[in-house]
């Protein structure tokens, strides 16, 4: 007879001592991810700078955060996105310790060890919990954008590539635009 696996709760998960690795909890399952590679961090840095420049002097639009920061999505879901944006209309989800609820925008840079989890498990979680937009950035030169539709669905609305002159924009950040060629230059 199979033994049921006990799901870890967010309260239990948040008591795990910090060991410098990325720990996430999705549907009560604990995931541990090693430190990212250099190109991953360079892409995260470029996105942070580009979005941060748009937010400079426009704090009313919202707040931008880099990993490592816990986002508590439910009693069984705690994630640490590479980047997250909490819009001005949802600042009440910010606490001193973490984010308590779905951010407006979540950005994950895909890696070999997290690609399937980011594309399948996290995408489903972000859809279920109400994230407005999710960017999956492939260091090989593309960005897949999932955006909440008027009917509540969470489709991929565009996949941008570095070799076709694409420019990344979002209605969440008026004035933001980033050429894919700039994001992926010399990566």
Q: What is the pLDDT of residues 72-124, one digit of tens each?
A: 999 999 999 999 999 999 999 999 999 999 999 999 999 998 999 999 999 99
CA angle 38, 35, 99 (to 5 degrees): 110
Q: In this predicted model, which residue has the larger pLDDT, 5 or 86?
A: 86
CA distance 10 to 7: 10
Element (H, E) at 124: helix 123-129
* Structural domain includes residue 53: yes
For residue 18, what pLDDT band results from cuts at 50, 70 and 90? confident
* pLDDT number for residue 187: 79
**Is residue 36 within 8 Å of residue 111, measured between CB atoms?**
yes
User: Is pLDDT above 80 for 1?
Assistant: no
* pLDDT number for residue 39: 94
The pLDDT of 36-45, averaged and rounded, is 95
* Structural domain includes residue 4: no
Task: List Cα–Cα distances, 52 to 45, 140, 177, in angstroms.
Answer: 10, 23, 12
Q: In this predicted model, which residue has the larger pLDDT, 35 or 46?
A: 46
Percent of the chain at pLDDT above 90? Answer: 84
Domains identified in the chain, total number: 1
* Structural domain includes residue 110: yes
From 13-22, 125-134, 164-173, the region with the lowest mean pLDDT: 13-22
* Structural domain includes residue 3: no
* Structural domain includes residue 2: no
pLDDT averaged over every residue in the chain: 94
User: Is pLDDT above 70 for 4?
Assistant: no
Quick one: tokens of 54? 């748009």
* Structural domain includes residue 70: yes
| Three-state DSSP string of 59-123 | HHHEEEEECCCCEEEECCEEECCCEEEEEHHHHHHECCCCEECCCCEEEEECCCCCHHHHHHHHH
User: What is the CATH number for 19?
Assistant: 3.90.1570.10
* pLDDT number for residue 3: 58
* Structural domain includes residue 60: yes
CA distance 55 to 134: 18
For residue 175, what pLDDT band results from cuts at 50, 70 and 90? very high
* Structural domain includes residue 109: yes
Domain that holds residue 37: 10-183
């Amino acid at each position: 007879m199979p033994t049921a696996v006990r799901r870890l709760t967010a309260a239990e998960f948040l008591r795990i001592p910090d060991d410098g690795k990325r720990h996430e909890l999705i549907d009560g399952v604990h995931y541990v991810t090693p430190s990212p590679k250099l190109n991953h961090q360079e892409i995260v840095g470029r996105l942070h700078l580009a979005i941060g420049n748009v937010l400079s002097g426009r704090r009313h639009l919202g707040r931008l955060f880099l990993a490592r920061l816990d986002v508590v999505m439910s009693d069984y879901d705690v994630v640490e996105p590479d980047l997250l944006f909490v819009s001005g209309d949802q600042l009440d989800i910010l606490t001193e310790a973490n984010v308590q609820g779905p951010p407006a925008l979540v950005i994950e840079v895909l890696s070999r060890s997290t690609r399937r989890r980011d594309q399948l498990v996290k995408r489903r979680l972000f859809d279920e919990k109400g994230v407005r937009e999710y960017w999956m950035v492939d260091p090989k030169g593309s960005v897949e954008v999932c955006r909440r539709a008027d009917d509540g669905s969470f489709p991929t609305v565009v996949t941008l590539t570095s070799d076709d002159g694409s420019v990344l924009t979002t209605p969440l950040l008026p004035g933001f635009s980033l050429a894919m060629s700039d994001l992926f230059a010399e990566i």
